[in-house]
Structure 1
Amino acid sequence: MPSSSPLPAWLQGLLPGPNTAGRREQLRAAVGALAGLLLAAFAGHFLLARDSAQLFLVAPIGASAVLAFCLPASPLAQPWSVVGGNVVSGLVGAACVQLFGGGGLAVAGLAVALAIAAMFALRCLHPPGGAVALTAVIGGPAVHAAGYAFALRPVLVDSLLLVVAAVLYNNLSGRRYPQRQQAAHASSHATADVKPTVRLGFTPEDLDAVLRQHNQVLDISRDQLETLFLQTEMRAHQRRFGIIRCADIMSRDVVSAEFATPLDAAWRAMREHNIGALPVLNRAKRVIGIVSQGDFLDHGGLEDYGRLRRQLRNFLRPSGLSHTEKAEVVGQIMSTKPRTAGLDTAIVDLVPLMADSGFHHIPIVDAEQRLAGIVTQSDLVAALYEQRFAEAAA
């Protein structure tokens, strides 16, 4: 049956669908590459093109854009790789033209081989660099006439403009670039301990030792590689010992608050039920935030332990001031955009959130994003204990 959509199939493939997150990421990368190339083209034309024959954009920059915007975590896409790899390759190609003449296939092959060796030596391996060296040899009279200046104008200018665009666009769209090529295991408690999830199993030192023995270039950052290994360990644990879902261990009779719940009422509810946090719901019972004891301490100015009781009493007492002058309701101090999980989420997926990221309470939502329960650190510890106990008994 033909599709009723007026959009062509290729465009429908870019729109949100079953794999919305993946397609959104693809569309974001494509838009970023477009923005980066437009910046390089227009700025390069403004800076370099004094006449119609002046080069201001080279084709290999398109390949650099694919790496910088589609694979921003790759070691091959980092700023030094983009700029250094392209410029060094341009210089090597220009040197081959000066020594052996341009246009020959043998010279072209030699230029690419020497460019690869130079990029390896300078630790700036960048695949489009090979195309830059090739362009320097077979690019025609205009490129040959430019000589070594070809590596600076336009290659250096284009590469720098593309990197600037990649830094701005990737970070504004929520992706870290440049990538720090090492694992970060800083404790959320500002102590020397590493994260709990990396205290067992393989260690960062184990990974470093294996990488030193692996005498090849990896097109993936070190921290991403370690994350993949940790996730693989978690999946293997899940497969071996079975899947326990959030719905199996969550508390269902959840004490919650609304945006307009008075602060003193929320505090009394937490004290009465001996709990550390309250999910904040809207009228449709969807989670819009979470308020914890830490939020009360942070917003109440309770740094001085000696005055803690008096300051907390003053903070919770209604003042009669407008909401813009003093916090009066839960919605003014709650943490917005809380981390939630679904009923069918495996509890192993909560371990990094609670052990490493410092979340103590994870609201559980149903298929309609309405609150169905809550999982605390105590629930998770009890479930993992029972799982290990059952394993030992078996």
Structure 2
Amino acid sequence: MNQPENHASGIRRAADRLFAPLLAGATFRSRLIACFGILLCVIFAGLISAWLYNHATHSVFLIAPVGASAILLFIVPSSPMAQPWAIIGGNTISAFVGVCIYHLVPEPYLAAGLAVSLSVLVMSVCRAMHPPGGAIALTAVIGGKTIQDTGFLFPLMPVALDSLLVVLFGMVFHWLLKRPYPHNAPVINQHQTQDIPTQMRGGPVAADIDAALAAMEESYDISRADLEILIRQIEMQAVMRSHASGNEGPDCAAIMSRHVVSVKPDDDDDYARSLLLRHNIRSLPVVDENNRLLGTVGLRELLKGKGAVSTLMTAPPTACAHDSALSLLPVLTNGRSHAVIIVDDDHHLLGLISQTDLLAALARLTPVLRRSGNR
């Protein structure tokens, strides 16, 4: 390759670094949806604020840093700095700090620096870190006569009000899109015991994550709980990718149970319960007269009600016979699903893979995995 080509490729690599998305997992579609949410949110906050105070100029009661709060809430709703307490508490606390500094420190440059830095300190102590709070503290000091005449009412009206409106709109918007907000770490112990969830056992522990973070000497905009879950998912995806070819891992047809005990939708709950106990199994596929899967029913469902199986069944996780058995790892380790139903293209019941089936398959794969790791 000649020198001009090397130069051109270097420019492309530099451009990729400069313009590549900074947020992992972000897509253009999600950004468009977020932009639409921000548009509606800012309009909503401005109109409601103006209406509540019966004021003709909307901008007087809509502070500029609210736009930054909306960006965080809609672009990175899982960020610790985009949660309700961070937005409402961080903005309001920072406004109080800024107003106090304005009245105590007459030198404007010193007051500006103190307002921003002390707002960060107080937000940290209150576990309400929110970057737009620094801008609000600065606004309280240099925002001009209109802001300063508001005095100690400024943190409440408009700051707390605008922040509350942004959070309320964001909660409704994410709810309509079926996205969780406020954000919580998605993995919990489904059995309501003190045990660590199944997919969190083995591998790195919390102390390892703390040690790695300390060694990096950096702060990251992700909670430790989310980081731990992300690490587990990466490990699982790596195992699935390493054996996706099927040469070293079986497909579902190879390990599924083919003689599956099932029930019809018109069977009653007592009959279904007796089958579960007789065969010592946890779930029963519900099939129609053509052996087409309709749902599943287990002891959990049977304890919640009585009547025909069709009124108690739930939608089960399914897979195809040619799918990799290792692809079932996320489903069978989520603490909720005990089995995956194997169906054909027309949804006819072919077999069933339980947690025990998958565990036995993984045990047989252990020597293969060890040899692969030593290559």
TM-score (norm: length of structure 1): 0.69
Question: CA offsets per residue over residues 222-281 of structure 1, 9 Å max, x none?
Answer: 221111111122233335565544344334565555534565776687688775433235
Q: Give the distance between the partners of 2:138 and 2:173, measured in 1 at CA.
A: 29
1:69 aligned onto 2:47:
no
- CA drift of 1:348 comes to 3.7
- CA drift of 1:380 comes to 0.8
1:334 aligned onto 2:347:
no
Q: Give the distance between the partners of 2:115 and 2:53, measured in 1 at CA.
A: 25
Q: Which of 79, 93, 108 matches 1:88?
A: 93
Q: Give the distance between the partners of 1:202 and 1:41, measured in 2 at CA.
A: 47
Partner of 1:379: 357
SS in structure 2 of the partner of residue 289 of structure 1: strand
1:154-233 maps to which residues of 2 (within 5 A)?
A: 154-171=158-175, 173-180=177-184, 186=189, 188-211=190-213, 215-233=217-235
Identity, % of aligned positions: 37
Q: Which of 236, 248, 256 matches 1:250?
A: 256
Q: Give the distance between the partners of 2:172 and 2:58, measured in 1 at CA.
A: 31
Q: Give the distance between the partners of 2:133 and 2:312, measured in 1 at CA.
A: 52
Q: Which of 276, 280, 284 matches 1:278?
A: 284
Shift in alpha-carbon separation, 1:112–1:244, aligned structure 2, 3 A: farther
TM-score (norm: length of structure 2): 0.72
- AA aligned opposite 1:152: L
Shift in alpha-carbon separation, 1:227–1:332, aligned structure 2, 3 A: same
1:153 aligned onto 2:157:
yes
- CA drift of 1:86 comes to 1.4
Q: Give the distance between the partners of 2:27 and 2:260, measured in 1 at CA.
A: 33
Shift in alpha-carbon separation, 1:265–1:26, aligned structure 2, 3 A: farther
Shift in alpha-carbon separation, 1:392–1:173, aligned structure 2, 3 A: closer
- AA aligned opposite 2:156: L
Gaps of 5+ in 2: 1-25
Partner of 1:360: 338
CA contact under 8 A between 1:48 and 1:55: conserved in structure 2? Answer: no
- CA drift of 1:77 comes to 0.9
Shift in alpha-carbon separation, 1:194–1:259, aligned structure 2, 3 A: same
CA contact under 8 A between 2:50 and 2:57: conserved in structure 1? Answer: no
1:351 aligned onto 2:312:
no
CA contact under 8 A between 1:48 and 1:154: conserved in structure 2? Answer: no
SS in structure 2 of the partner of residue 55 of structure 1: helix
- CA drift of 1:331 comes to 0.7
Q: How much is the aligned-residue C-alpha RMSD, in angstroms?
A: 4.0
Mean Cα deviation higher: 193-202 or 166-175: 166-175
Q: Give the distance between the partners of 1:198 and 1:125, measured in 2 at CA.
A: 28
Shift in alpha-carbon separation, 1:148–1:298, aligned structure 2, 3 A: closer
Question: CA offsets per residue over residues 304-341 of structure 1, 9 Å max, x none?
Answer: xxxxxxxxxxxxxxxxxxxxxxx2x3211212x32334
Shift in alpha-carbon separation, 1:237–1:25, aligned structure 2, 3 A: same
1:1-20 maps to which residues of 2 (within 5 A)?
A: none
- AA aligned opposite 1:339: P
Shift in alpha-carbon separation, 1:135–1:377, aligned structure 2, 3 A: same
1:79 aligned onto 2:84:
yes
Q: Give the distance between the partners of 2:135 and 2:290, measured in 1 at CA.
A: 57
Shift in alpha-carbon separation, 1:282–1:132, aligned structure 2, 3 A: farther
Q: Give the distance between the partners of 1:189 and 1:115, measured in 2 at CA.
A: 42
- AA aligned opposite 1:354: L
SS in structure 2 of the partner of residue 125 of structure 1: coil
CA contact under 8 A between 2:249 and 2:365: conserved in structure 1? Answer: no
Q: Give the distance between the partners of 1:147 and 1:153, measured in 2 at CA.
A: 10
Q: Which of 45, 52, 57 matches 1:47?
A: 52
- CA drift of 1:155 comes to 0.8
Partner of 1:17: none
Shift in alpha-carbon separation, 1:34–1:377, aligned structure 2, 3 A: same
CA contact under 8 A between 1:361 and 1:375: conserved in structure 2? Answer: yes
Shift in alpha-carbon separation, 1:134–1:297, aligned structure 2, 3 A: closer
SS in structure 2 of the partner of residue 177 of structure 1: coil
Gaps of 5+ in 1: 1-20, 301-326
1:133 aligned onto 2:112:
no
Q: Give the distance between the partners of 1:130 and 1:79, measured in 2 at CA.
A: 17
SS in structure 1 of the partner of residue 154 of structure 2: helix
- AA aligned opposite 2:224: R
